[in-house]
Chains A and B, each alone.
Chain A
Amino acid sequence: MIDGMLGSTNLPALERSLQYMGARQRLLAGNLANIETPGYRPTDVAPAAFQQSLREALEQDRTDKGGGLAFDDSAPVAFTEAGTELKPQVLAENIMFHDGNDRSVERLMQKMQENVYSFRVASQLLRNQFDLINTAIRERM
Chain B
Amino acid sequence: MNDPLGIVSRINTQASGFSRPGQSPAGQDFKQELLDEMRKVNQMQQDATQATNDLLTGQRDDIEGVMIATQKADSAFRMLLALRNKVVDAYDEVRNIRV
Complex contact flag A–B (Cβ < 8 Å)? yes
The chain A residues found within 8 Å of chain B, CB to CB, are 9-10, 13-14, 17, 47-48, 51-52, 54-55, 58, 121-122, 125, 128, 131-132, 135-136, 139-141
> What CA separation (Å) do A22 and B21 show in the bound complex?
64
Q: Say whether A58 contacts B53, CB under 8 Å.
A: yes
Residue from B58, B66, B70, B78 in contact with A141 in the complex, judged by beta carbons closer than 8 Å: B78
Q: Is the interface of B mostly helix, strand, loop or mixed?
A: helix
Tell me, in angstroms, the Cα distance from A10 to B54 when the chains sit together: 11
| A54 pairs with B56, CB closer than 8 A | yes
Residues of B within 8 A of A141 (CB): 78, 81-82
**How far is the CB of B15 from the nearest CB of chain A, in Å?**
27
Interface 1/0 per residue, B64-89 and A, CB below 8 Å? 00100010001001100110010000
B residues less than 8 Å from A55 (CB atoms): 57-59
Q: How far is the CA of A135 from the CA of B78 in the complex (A)?
A: 8
Interface pair B52/A10, CB less than 8 Å apart: yes
Min CB gap B40→A, angstroms: 16
Distance of A116 Cα from B25 Cα, bound (Å): 57
By size class, the interface of chain B is 10 to 19
Q: Closest approach, in angstroms, between the C-beta of A57 and any C-beta of chain B?
A: 9
Chain B contacts of A136 at CB under 8 A?
77, 81
Contacts of B57 in A (CB 8 A): 13, 51-52, 54-55, 58
Chain B residues near A14: list those with CB within 8 A.
52, 56
B55 interface residue (CB < 8 Å to A): yes
From A48, A125, A139, A140, give the contact of B52 (CB < 8 A).
A125
Given contacts A10-B52, A51-B58, A132-B77, 8 further A-B contacts (CB under 8 A): A14-B52, A52-B57, A54-B56, A55-B57, A121-B55, A139-B81, A139-B85, A140-B85
